[in-house]
Chains A and B, each alone.
Chain A
Amino acid sequence: MEAIVRLIAATAPVQTPDEIKAANAAIGAGFAYGLAAIGPGIGIGFVVGKAIEAMARQPEAAGMVRTTMFLGIAFTEALALIGFVVFILLGL
């Protein structure tokens, strides 16, 4: 990450310590959100895939499965959203 910062700093016309710090923070924010999105992405994929499988096997239970699926998505998604909040906080 330091290398990227240096690369960006090398192309930028001005390099005050504040700007380097801001660049660091921006890159950190990007990584924070990108990494935070991986796990929940896989998790939501599993949740929805299994829910669709369950609905296809037992269409009469579709309502219950859908409710539970949304609950599962909500809990899984929370991690990605915390990453998003960290992204905003770091970007400030």
Chain B
Amino acid sequence: MKNTDILTIWKSYDQKLNENLLLNRKNAEDITKIKVRSFLTSMRPLKIFAILAGILWVVFVDTLIVLLFPVASPFFLISAGIQVLLTKLSIGVYLYQWVLIELVDIDEPVLTTQERIAHLQASTLWVIRILFLQLPVWTTFYLTQSLIESGGILFYTLQIGFTAGFTLLSIWLYRNISYENRDKKWFKLIFNGIEWNPIRKSMELLDQIKDYSTVRQ
């Protein structure tokens, strides 16, 4: 097969389309009349809501920490402190996504636009990693001095088991949920389902863009 053969086939395809393709002007005209928002712009309110809800939660927990500081158990204070710190990081990721949404311009070069969109999708993984990192604090925030002093062997075994298990699991997930591990079985198991397709696809695209980026303009 020669180059010219491929081009000739494509020319025939072109000719076929010229003869058989019809624009439904009425339906096309309807498009110019409807008020539409782009998919990315439609994501903006969701991100703003997440940021505002996050800020409210942070203010609430921070106030709680300050007000209860003299009387609360150290376990509660440390757990709440870690949780609120991680929430602040999540807000940071949402802010980053918001900036990316503002930067995406559909008439910019394909690789520039696709890289921004793919980063936007893939950064959802950061939020998931941070969410997993919060796991251990949900096993410690309720602990008090009196509960520890009165706890029996069963309490200690379960409490240490849960906290240690959740800590190890959350650190492992935090370190391993990444673009590089997308082909691993456990990764596919967690991110199984049609709703995760955009994230998987965005990772593949980042891979392709990386391949092109070596000689980018």
The answer to whether A and B assemble together is no
Chain B residues with CB under 8 Å of chain A are none
